[in-house]
Chain A
Amino acid sequence: MAVIDGYAGKIAYVNLTKGSIEIQETPADLKKNYLGGRGFGTKIISDRMDPLVDPLSPDNILVIASSPLTGTGIPLGSRYMVSTKSPLNNTLMSANSGGTFGWKIKKAGFDAVVFEGRAEKPVYLYLNEGKAELRDATSYWGLDVHQTTDALIADLGDKKAKVACIGPAGEKQSLLACVMNDRDRAAGRSGAGAVLGSKNVKAVVATGELRIDEADKDGLNAVKERIRKKLDENGICQALTTYGTAVLVNIINENGILPTKNFQSAHFAGAEKVSGERLAETFLKKNSGCFACTVRCSRICEVDGIIGEGPEYEPMWGFGADLGIDDLKTVIQAAWECNKLGLDAVGTPTAIACAMEMREKGYITEGPQFGNPEGIVELVRQMGLREGFGAELTDGSYRFAERHGYPELSMSVKKQDLPAYDPRGLQGHGLSYATSVRGGDHVYGYMVSPEVLGAPEKLDPFVNDGKATWTRIFQDLTAAIDASGMCLFSSFALNADDYADLTAATTGISMDGAALLKIGERIWNLQKLFNIKVGYTKADDTLPARLLNDPIKEGGPKGRVWEREPLLSEYYTERGWDAEGVPTQEKLRELGLE
């Protein structure tokens, strides 16, 4: 008899070179030690793959994994993750996305799909109630994300089918390519779309109505009620409903940490014009949300008669302040273009910002210029198609800046661009950037939450004391949340015990908050071990020179830089790693990773 534990119970191993698929039961120890999502991806890749493979070769493995809490009707339980060796920076990356696709993979009978090899011709994977099949995708190759999604659903005549796919950017193996699902949701960073492109996989389609039961339904209902109340009463979650993530533009700007013109400044005079408040007054039509979400933070906007989803805070900042552009229409259209083409909506504008600074400094003589919205949407299109000047930028700011001899102008950590928070005014968040196991990133340990928003408590952003501990806990908790299937925004209202209670009632695996954090820590260390094997060292756990040496010029954090020490040493100690940032044998034994 099947186990009743919130899992679909099967993993499909797809060998694209051979065109064969093997379906296996989801192993019990994988569930127990890694939960799902990011945990599954990290463990499966670590076990099956030599870390030194070329990420764009058939030897790389890409895992799409759902999670036990996904699709169970738990509010904000909507996520799936895409994991692979990143072609952008060689890390073992795992990117999160919401919508309905993660739920549907389970209804189609699968916890995860593992891609290996390379198909000879474009294919898509069709999942339907326990069956998995590779199908010809030649006719979809070349279509954008929206066209691909709509065409697949129309051709199958199945409106309930859910699609994850790559756009032209993935086909062209842009190192900024995402995996997109439900048209506008992105597993956005680290170039996973390029890996699918290199494998000739255009899409995964999931359909079906299989029933998935939880281990302790009554228990789960009680916990659901408790967390629903917490989410409903949480002020930050309420504001997400009203304004979406874009409300941050003004908050971060007023705090003097809104990176402007490629991090040359941390305050943007035009912020109000490209803020969440302005969006709400102008282009916003309504909000929407992922599967079973009670917060519904997504924005639906209308521009010139066209209705689209987004923008989120990151592209609002990226195409706004980071480019010195205060034209909201351009910002929205550029963010939409990223979604259509399947481009990372953080790395795309930041690559443009880097080019703008090089142009400003006279290091290049053509290309976009700060403050000028003209041609930006077209440049994004070119990046997605690897055409014209866009071809120069489509592998991210680091490649571009390095090719021209100015790698220091790439505002990246481990070749992945930093998002929308200047760490010179945020000691803990800077530590999170420097040590993130997939490079420059804000969703692997969002220290902005305590340092700016005050959740779960207010921490002074300028102070180093205690930040190593907080950062570790945030990183581990995030890894566990990414494995559980919950949206990270739930963490504004919930704590480790809440997630543990949800997980225990769903899976029947007994655990408390500490055990849940241990799973997160195990995932984090496994990603770290992979990165060490590909050659990352302590020297890479740092920030761009500008953020270490050039003080912020105005506002609250005026005069500040990010202080690498003592933060980094304290962090390594806190993690039980040696002075070079390598996990000790003792730590690995404790986590069952020896």
Chain B
Amino acid sequence: MKITVKSFATLRDHMDAEFAIEIQESATIADLLTMLTERYPKLEGEIFLEDGTLKDFVNILLNGRNIAFIKGLDSILSEGDRIALFPPAGGG
């Protein structure tokens, strides 16, 4: 199935800003991130701590909803989903 991925802010130094990607049915966000870090090796250090958990203030949206309030890295993807990846960032 196909999903679209967008990256923002400093992540764009390490990966494309917007693209579609093929992924197996019922893949999770964790599966997607594995694919992405293989494709863009520098991404790993930007979003993950050494223990494999997400860094503080890294936010991932699945169709506009933060995965923290779905099932985190275990959130399941479906055809046509839109993923947005944010490094720590903010303002006011």
> Given A239-B9, A251-B8, A455-B57, is A246 in contact with B91 using a C-beta cutoff of 8 Å?
yes
Query: How distant is the Cα of A462 from the Cα of B69 in the complex, in angstroms?
Result: 10
CB distance from B68 to the nearest CB of A (A): 5
- The residue in chain A whose Cβ has the minimal distance to the Cβ of B83 is A254
Q: Which of A8-16, A128-136, A364-372, A446-454 contacts B (4 or more CB under 8 A)?
A: A446-454
Query: For the complex, what is the distance from the CA of A488 to the CA of B90, rounded to whole Å?
Result: 12
Which residues from chain B contact A432 at a C-beta distance below 8 Å? none
Q: In whole angstroms, how far apart are the Cα atoms of A442 and B88 in the complex? A: 20
Binding site of A, secondary structure by majority: helix, strand, loop or mixed?
helix
Q: Which residue of B lies closest to A252 (CB)?
A: B91
Q: How many residues of B contact A (CB 8 A)?
A: 25
A256 touches B64 (CB 8 A): yes
Contacting pair B89 A236 (CB below 8 A): yes
Please tell me if B2 contacts chain A, counting CB pairs below 8 Å. Answer: no
| Per-residue A-contact encoding for B51-65, CB less than 8 Å = 1, 0 else | 000011111010111
Rounded to whole angstroms, the CA-CA distance of A481 and B82 in the bound complex is 38
Q: Which of A277, A446, A448, A454 contacts B68 (CB 8 A)?
A: A454
| Contact yes or no, B9 A236, CB < 8 A | no
**Chain B residues whose C-beta falls within 8 Å of the C-beta of A235 in the assembled complex:** 55-58, 87-89
Is A492 at the interface (CB under 8 A from chain B)? yes
B8 proximity list for chain A (CB < 8 A)? 247, 250-251, 254, 277
In angstroms, Cα B65 to Cα A556, docked, is 5
Asked if A556 contacts B61 (CB within 8 A), the reply is yes
Neighbour of B89 across the interface among A243, A462, A555, CB < 8 A: A243
The answer to whether the Cβ of A542 comes within 8 Å of any Cβ in the partner chain is no
Minimum distance in angstroms from B5 CB to a CB of chain A = 12
B-chain residues with CB within 8 Å of residue A238 when the two chains form the complex:
88
Query: A492 to chain B: which residues have CB within 8 Å?
Result: 90
B11 CB to closest chain A CB (Å) equals 10
Name which residue of chain A comes closest to B10, CB basis: A242
- Contact of B90 with A247 in the complex, beta carbons under 8 Å: yes
* Binary contact readout B71-92 vs A (1 if CB under 8 angstroms, 0 otherwise): 0000000000000101111111
A557 to B65, CA, bound (A): 8
Q: Is the CB of A244 within 8 A of B91?
A: yes
Selected from A247, A255, A256, the residue in CB contact (under 8 A) with B91 is A247
Q: Does B66 contact A (CB under 8 A)?
A: yes
Name B1-17 residues within 8 Å CB distance of A.
6, 8-10, 12
User: With a CB–CB cut-off of 8 A, which chain A residues contact B57?
Assistant: 235-236, 453-455
Kindly state whether residue A489 has any CB partner on chain B within 8 Å.
Answer: yes
B59 touches A453 (CB 8 A): yes
CB contact between A236 and one of B64, B65, B68, B90 (< 8 Å): that residue: B90
Which residues between 26 and 76 of chain B lie within 8 Å of chain A, taking CB atoms? 55-59, 61, 63-66, 68-69
Bound together, the chains give a CA A240 to CA B57 distance in angstroms of: 13
Q: Which residue of B lies closest to A239 (CB)?
A: B89
Report if A240-B64 is in contact (Cβ < 8 Å); known contacts: A254-B84, A277-B8, A460-B69.
no
B64, A557: Cβ atoms under 8 Å?
Answer: yes
| Alpha-carbon distance A558/B28, docked complex (angstroms) | 23
Contact B61 A458 (CB under 8 A): no
Q: How far is the CA of A442 from the CA of B90 in the complex (A)?
A: 14
Q: Which residues of A contact B58 (CB under 8 A)?
A: 235
Closest chain A residue to B59 by CB distance?
Answer: A454
**Of all chain B residues, which has the CB nearest A451?**
B66
Instruction: Assess A489 versus B92: contact at CB under 8 Å? Given A236-B57, A454-B56, A556-B61.
Output: yes
Q: B53 to nearest A CB, angstroms?
A: 13
Contacts of B92 in A (CB 8 A): 245, 248, 313, 442-443, 446, 448, 488-489
Q: Can you list 5 pairs linking A and B with CB atoms under 8 Å apart? A: A236-B57, A236-B89, A239-B10, A242-B9, A243-B89
Closest 8 CB pairs of A and B: A235-B88, A556-B64, A245-B91, A239-B89, A555-B64, A556-B65, A236-B90, A453-B90
